[in-house]
Structure 1
Amino acid sequence: MSKRPSNSNFYGQSKKFRSSASSASSVQVTANERKVDDSYFSNTPSDTEAALLYLKSKFPIEKFEGRLPPVLLVHQIYSVIKCKTLVDRDVNSLQAKGVVRLFKLGGEETALVVVYSDELVNHIIQHCPTKPVINRFLKELIPKVQDVSIDKTLLQELGFTQQEMSDLVRAGLLTLRSTASFWFSFPNAGEFMRTYLKGRKSVLRTIRKCKFSEILQFELEQRKLEKSAKLGMLYHIHDMIGAELVKCIETTSGTLLRLTKK
């Protein structure tokens, strides 16, 4: 007859097995935790994305009664994040992923603006006529061309006729850049630029009237703007800081904004 294993060996093996199982379970839990951690950090917005969301929350969309989506200025992000290289890299990455869309709007001075892609599409659908060319613009052109402008030759290569280009111009989706190219745009972009420039001039005029052309930021935030300046004081403060029209000086009383050009 074979000998029965001793209790010490039997329980020793059993304990060893349980220990191995426990170790494997521990490894499994650790791996799962790592997956959760990786997922968490991959879904955590970058500083630039967080800044964009903050600035978007300050856009007074209700004052435009649906005529505009939240429109942000790229240089406004510089007022929140000081590293311009980081901001530019992140914004380009967000555009490459299709999260946002950049536009270069003209006027008295050009402005590089950013609009969230989903809000842009909804805005276009709401304000543009229901035509096949509009659907093609949204489904074929926007995803393929991420630049702020486009050449007529490329439009022709993509199958857009001269009449369809004219339709896109009338819809506010293209504006003439030169005889051979267009800027991308969106409906009522002109209203945004007019409001933006009026508001900026109003705020600059307010600061210029102050002694030494400087004012504490919290005091400026309390000042009232003209009714035509719908974007609000805080929007323009971020605009002026990011565009370096004012210099920020930390004082015991708070941040002092001083005009860089008087």
Structure 2
Amino acid sequence: MLLRDVWKFRCRWIFPIKLLRLVHDEYTILKIKMKRAKIPDVFKTKKRPRIQSQTSEDWGDEAADSTVPSDCHAALMYLHSLVNTDGLAGRLPPIILKHQLYNVMTNRTLVDKQVNELRDTKEIKLLNLGTRPDEFSIVFTKDYVEHVNKHLSDKPIIKRFLSSVVEKTNSVSVDKQMLVEHLEFKDEEITELVNGGVLNVRDFGSWWIALPGAGFFIRHFTKGRDAILRTIRNSKYKQILLRDLETKDLKATKTLGMKYHIEEILGSGAVTKIDTTSGLMLRIDR
């Protein structure tokens, strides 16, 4: 076979085969594109909303018009202002849960450090009110002293307790050795302090420094917290927009205030905060 005939044979069969392959590949690509275009949006994979850690700036966008506290003292004053004093009706001074600070300030280590510093300077009292074994509340020392004097001023032992214990120590509890041997309180005087509500039994021979009338706070705190969590849990997908939650008329939250309770559930980690295009979302994950 001559070279000319070989070349004619290749042109007649090989080139058309390559052309057919090219056409087939183009058709396949076009078919895939058309198939994708017909898939409804509902079946397309969407990115999950980004879950961000709580910052006081985010909270301020929808819940507060004040500037973000830069230190623990400013954060305490902010939380102090959220307490519905009308709801307390003079029964108690404003009480702040320590973990509420974790929602206002982003640095937990800094919170713990500055709380200890404020305790050392006797500006605040750290109290265990019995809400949970490891949960501590904060009351400004000035408010604590005024409250005790207001309700127990007729007991001489109370003034001695305030001057020798409350204003001298930053501890959350005292033991019998401290009270009897160092401060020279008698057993009957310790019993009187327990009955007056400034001491609560912690263990045998040990007492928490307490706040008289704290049962009123614990009762309304628990009811308000449960009401908010129940509202979120009963919402679709166990989540609700923050602005929608704030407009809920929950009777159980009126004593302490809705914003007070929201700061508490965020600080305790009871709910997750999610930034969405519709606003801040609160969700229960467990």
Same fold by TM (over 0.5)?
Answer: yes
CA shift at 1:66, angstroms?
0.6
Task: For 1:149 and 1:198, locate their aligned partners in 2 and report how far apart those are by CA, in whole Å.
Answer: 27
User: In structure 1, which of residues 165, 187, 203 is the aligned counterpart of residue 228 of structure 2?
Assistant: 203
Equivalent residues in 2 for 1:1-262, closer than 5 Å: 47-107=71-131, 111-157=135-181, 158-227=183-252, 230-261=255-286
CA contact under 8 A between 2:174 and 2:207: conserved in structure 1? Answer: yes
Residue in structure 1 matched with residue 7 of structure 2 by the alignment: none
Task: For 1:225 and 1:184, locate their aligned partners in 2 and report how far apart those are by CA, in whole Å.
Answer: 32
Change (3 A) 1:178 1:109: closer
Identity of aligned residues (%): 41
Given residue 250 of structure 2, which amino acid in structure 1 is its aligned partner?
L
Task: For 2:171 and 2:74, locate their aligned partners in 1 and report how far apart those are by CA, in whole Å.
Answer: 24
CA shift at 1:229, angstroms?
5.0
Residue in structure 1 matched with residue 28 of structure 2 by the alignment: none
Given residue 161 of structure 1, which amino acid in structure 2 is its aligned partner?
K
CA contact under 8 A between 1:76 and 1:241: conserved in structure 2? Answer: yes
CA contact under 8 A between 2:129 and 2:211: conserved in structure 1? Answer: no
Query: With structure 1 as the length reference, what TM-score do the two structures score?
Result: 0.79
CA contact under 8 A between 1:196 and 1:229: conserved in structure 2? Answer: no
SS at 1:200 equivalent: helix
| Per-residue Cα deviation, 1:95-149 (whole angstroms, up to 9, x for no partner) | 1111111001114665310001111110000011422210111111112221111
Task: For 1:68 and 1:225, locate their aligned partners in 2 and report how far apart those are by CA, in whole Å.
Answer: 22
CA contact under 8 A between 1:129 and 1:171: conserved in structure 2? Answer: no
SS at 2:104 equivalent: coil
CA shift at 1:227, angstroms?
4.4
Alignment size in residue pairs? 217
CA contact under 8 A between 1:198 and 1:229: conserved in structure 2? Answer: no
SS at 1:146 equivalent: coil
Greater Cα shift, 141-150 or 168-177: 141-150
User: Which consecutive residues of structure 1, in runs of 5 or more, have no partner in the other structure?
Assistant: 1-44
Change (3 A) 1:228 1:259: closer
Change (3 A) 1:150 1:260: farther
User: Which consecutive residues of structure 2, in runs of 5 or more, have no partner in the other structure?
Assistant: 1-68
SS at 1:175 equivalent: strand
- Identify the structure with bigger relative contact order (alpha carbons < 8 Å, sequence gap 6+): 2
CA contact under 8 A between 2:227 and 2:252: conserved in structure 1? Answer: no
Query: With structure 2 as the length reference, what TM-score do the two structures score?
Result: 0.73
SS at 1:177 equivalent: strand
Change (3 A) 1:243 1:108: closer
Name which one, 1 or 2, has greater alpha-carbon Rg.
2
Given residue 99 of structure 1, which amino acid in structure 2 is its aligned partner?
E
